[in-house]
A and B are shown apart, each in its own frame.
Chain A
Amino acid sequence: MLILYVLMLFMIIAAVIAVETRNLLSAVICVGSIGFVGSLMFLFLCAPDIAITQIVVEVLGLIILIRATISRDLTFISGDKEFFGVVVSIVLIAVIFLAGMKVLDTLPAFGTAIFTQVPDAASQVYLSEGLQRTGAANIVTSVILDFRAYDTLGEATVLFTSILGASAILRKKSRRRLG
């Protein structure tokens, strides 16, 4: 239990450094440390599949981010702030903060899973009948590849579309016009 607090505080400190540092490369490295500590945290929260995926995704994302920031000039932001923009930012942050505090009051205490308080939650069915129905010992795998396979299909579609868009944006030459 204590380890979760330590990791969470580490993530918050790394996030503050990543937000406030001037150097973009060190900000990117701090984001990477948030991701790896998050992966450790998933491991302590009994989610090994997510921990593995998080490490893989983190390495790829770090490579992409470093590709964007390395050998670029440092951009120094001039400090002229507009009044309207500042007011809108403060109002937006305050509204989301108040809404979040309302939600925090209604949550159950940490450690009591929310699906145990619903009598016929879908997770209970997955846990009790997942092995018989799908033959997968790992319940998470049986959920993503059998019970909710359409979600995974949609995920593959979104991933393919975003990679297609990224490669279209980064294309060096414009397509030669036909005719």
Chain B
Amino acid sequence: MLYALCFLLFMIGLYCAITKKNMVKIVIGIMVMEYAVNLFLIMLGYRTNGIAPIIGKGDLNPETGQVLSSFINGSVDPLPQALVLTSIVISLGSLALMISLCIRIYGKYRTFDITKIRRLRG
């Protein structure tokens, strides 16, 4: 059910990115899609009553120093978390690039409407 709600959020972002004619609205749609995808990847690694993948003192075997199996069987998936961390930072970079394009186009055409910036102006 949570997956379906996440997919609904993705579809809202897709609708916004495809049908809106305002450039900033398109950027907003792409951002909403990014949130939905990141959230979905984290949800795939979630376990009910899971614990964060950080090893504390109580998770170690006092004699051997090995990680206890209760930690391995109770922790959530660390791999999507690491990759989503990368994805979030990259989304900031792409947002900066898209917004700078919008500001530049606004400075040239005085509008955000993508139907009015078709004609070329030197």
Give the interface of A toward B (CB within 8 A): 1, 4-5, 8-9, 11-12, 15-16, 18-19, 24, 27-28, 31, 34-35, 38, 41-42, 45-50, 53-54, 57, 60-61, 64-65, 67-69, 72-73, 75, 77-78, 80, 89, 92-93, 96-97, 100, 104, 107, 110-116, 122-124, 126-128, 130-132, 137-140, 143-144, 148, 151-152, 155, 158-159, 161-163, 165-167, 169-170
Contact of B67 with A65 in the complex, beta carbons under 8 Å: no
A93-B18, A127-B75, A140-B82 given; name 16 further pairs at CB < 8 Å.
Answer: A12-B9, A12-B12, A15-B9, A24-B25, A38-B38, A45-B42, A57-B89, A68-B102, A72-B106, A112-B48, A127-B72, A139-B54, A155-B90, A159-B92, A169-B100, A169-B104
B20 A115 Cβ-Cβ under 8 A:
no
Given contacts A50-B42, A104-B7, A169-B104, contact A140 B28 (CB under 8 A): no
Contact yes or no, B81 A100, CB < 8 A: no
In the bound assembly, the distance between CA atoms of A68 and B24 in angstroms comes to 8
19 contacts between A and B (CB under 8 A): A8-B2, A18-B32, A19-B12, A19-B16, A24-B24, A60-B92, A65-B99, A77-B20, A77-B21, A77-B115, A89-B18, A92-B18, A111-B46, A113-B45, A115-B79, A127-B75, A127-B78, A143-B82, A166-B100
Known pairs A15-B12, A45-B42, A54-B88; A162 contacts B94 (CB<8 A): yes
In order of increasing CB-CB distance, the 10 nearest A-B pairs are: A162-B93, A111-B48, A143-B82, A139-B53, A166-B100, A139-B78, A75-B112, A19-B16, A46-B52, A144-B82
Residues of B near A144 (CB, < 8 A) are 82, 85-86
Query: With A42-B42, A158-B93 in contact, is A31–B79 under 8 Å at CB?
Result: no
B112 to chain A minimum Cβ distance, whole angstroms, is 4
Q: Find out whether the CB atom of A140 lies under 8 angstroms from the CB atom of B78.
A: yes
Interface size, B (range): 35 or more
Q: Which residues of B contact A (CB under 8 A)?
A: 1-16, 18-22, 24-25, 27-29, 31-32, 35, 38-39, 42-48, 50-56, 60, 65-67, 71-72, 75-79, 81-86, 88-97, 99-104, 106, 110-113, 115
A68 to chain B, nearest CB (A): 5
By the criterion CB–CB under 8 Å, are B77 and A131 in contact?
Answer: no
Q: Is the CB of B99 within 8 A of A68?
A: yes
How distant is B39 from chain A, measured CB to nearest CB, in Å?
6
Complex formed: what's the CA distance from A131 to B4 in Å? 36
Expressed in whole angstroms, the Cα–Cα distance for A81 and B102 within the complex equals: 22
Residues of B within 8 A of A170 (CB): 100, 103-104
User: In the complex the two chains form, is B97's CB within 8 Å of A169's CB?
Assistant: yes
Would A27 and B48 count as touching, CB distance under 8 A? no
- From B1, B52, B78, B95, give the contact of A110 (CB < 8 A): B1
